[in-house]
A and B are shown apart, each in its own frame.
Chain A
Amino acid sequence: DQQVKQNSPSLSVQEGRISILNCDYTNSMFDYFLWYKKYPAEGPTFLISISSIKDKNEDGRFTVFLNKSAKHLSLHIVPSQPGDSAVYFCAASGGNFGNEKLTFGTGTRLTIIP
Chain B
Amino acid sequence: ETGVTQTPRHLVMGMTNKKSLKCEQHLGHNAMYWYKQSAKKPLELMFVYSLEERVENNSVPSRFSPECPNSSHLFLHLHTLQPEDSALYLCASSQALSGYEQYFGPGTRLTVT
Chain A residues with a Cβ closer than 8 Å to the other chain, count = 24
Q: Is the interface of A mostly helix, strand, loop or mixed?
A: loop
A34 in contact with B97 (CB, 8 Å): no
With beta carbons under 8 angstroms apart, the residue of A43, A100, A106 that contacts B104 is: A43
With beta carbons under 8 angstroms apart, the residue of A34, A45, A100 that contacts B48 is: A100
* Nearest-neighbor residue (CB-CB) of A9 within chain B: B40
A-B contacts at CB below 8 angstroms, number: 60
A99 in contact with B106 (CB, 8 Å): no
CA distance A44 to B93 in the complex (A): 12
B42 in contact with A104 (CB, 8 Å): yes
B23 to chain A, nearest CB (A): 10
With beta carbons under 8 angstroms apart, the residue of A4, A43, A100 that contacts B106 is: A43
B42 in contact with A2 (CB, 8 Å): yes
- Which of A89, A93, A100, A104 has the most chain B CB atoms inside 10 A of its CB? A100
* Nearest-neighbor residue (CB-CB) of B42 within chain A: A104
B43 in contact with A101 (CB, 8 Å): no
Q: A2-B42, A43-B90, A106-B41 are in contact. Are A101 and B106 (CB under 8 A)?
A: no
A16 to chain B, nearest CB (A): 29
